[in-house]
């Protein structure tokens, strides 16, 4: 029989806010996957528009249990760093990883990226789940919408 506290904790995580975004990209799944998994590629598109050019750094150990760390400096001089652990890695198809900003490590959430071939390109479905509240979800939705626009431009070249 399942532990009642574990079942309640799972139910609490499922009830936390999440967001899902989808993009049709004009690039093959392999190129989209490489944009997420090769540090030099990720550093070229990751971040909001107000990132100081040349400040994005990515340290990626893309394997189940591997860690990643991405950092950048905003145009206002503010330093940002996020990191986590890869939970699922299926080359050219799927990535699942934990997500926590260095400033709020207790607010861990989960990102799932699904990559599927689609009419000469790729359908990317991006899900970010288990936010602490709606405000965190809404802030991330604004950021991820901009990031995915950057990704779309990057893979189209």
Q: Is 116 helix (H, G, I), strand (E, B) or coil?
A: strand
Beta strand 109-118 pairing with 79-90: unpaired
* CATH topology for the 4-156 domain: Alpha-D-Glucose-1,6-Bisphosphate; Chain A, domain 4 (3.30.530)
Sequential DSSP letters for 6-54? HHHHHHHHHHS--EEEEEEESS-HHHHHHHHHSHHHHHHH-S-TTBPTT
In this structure, what are the phi and psi dihedrals at residue 142, rounded to the nearest 5 degrees?
Answer: -60, -45
pLDDT digits (tens, 9 = 90+) for 112-139: 999 999 988 999 999 999 999 999 999 9
Place of tokens 């779309």: 152
Letter string b/e over residues 88-124, b meaning 16 or more CB atoms within 10 A of that residue's CB: ebeebeebbbbbbeeeeeeeebbbbbbbeeeeebbbb
- Residue recorded with tokens 């699904």: 114
pLDDT digits (tens, 9 = 90+) for 53-102: 889 999 999 999 999 999 999 888 999 999 999 999 999 999 999 999 99
The runs of H, that is alpha helices, within 55-109 are none
pTM to 2 decimal places: 0.88
Distance CA(87)–CA(89), nearest Å, equals 7
């Amino acid at each position: 029989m399942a532990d009642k506290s574990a079942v309640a904790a799972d139910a609490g995580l499922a009830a936390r806010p999440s967001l899902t975004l989808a993009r049709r990209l004009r690039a093959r799944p392999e190129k989209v996957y490489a944009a997420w998994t090769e540090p030099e590629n990720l550093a070229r598109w990751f971040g909001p528009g107000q990132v100081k050019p040349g400040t994005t750094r990515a340290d990626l150990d893309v394997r189940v249990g591997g860690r990643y760390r991405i950092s950048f400096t905003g145009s206002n001089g503010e330093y940002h760093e996020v990191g986590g652990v890869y939970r699922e890695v299926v080359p050219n198809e799927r990535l699942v990883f934990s997500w926590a900003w260095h400033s709020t490590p207790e607010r861990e959430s989960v990102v799932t990226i699904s990559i599927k071939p689609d009419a000469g390109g790729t359908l990317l479905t991006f899900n970010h789940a288990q936010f602490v509240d709606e405000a965190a979800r809404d802030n991330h939705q604004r950021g991820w919408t901009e990031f995915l626009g950057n990704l779309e431009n990057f893979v189209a070249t």
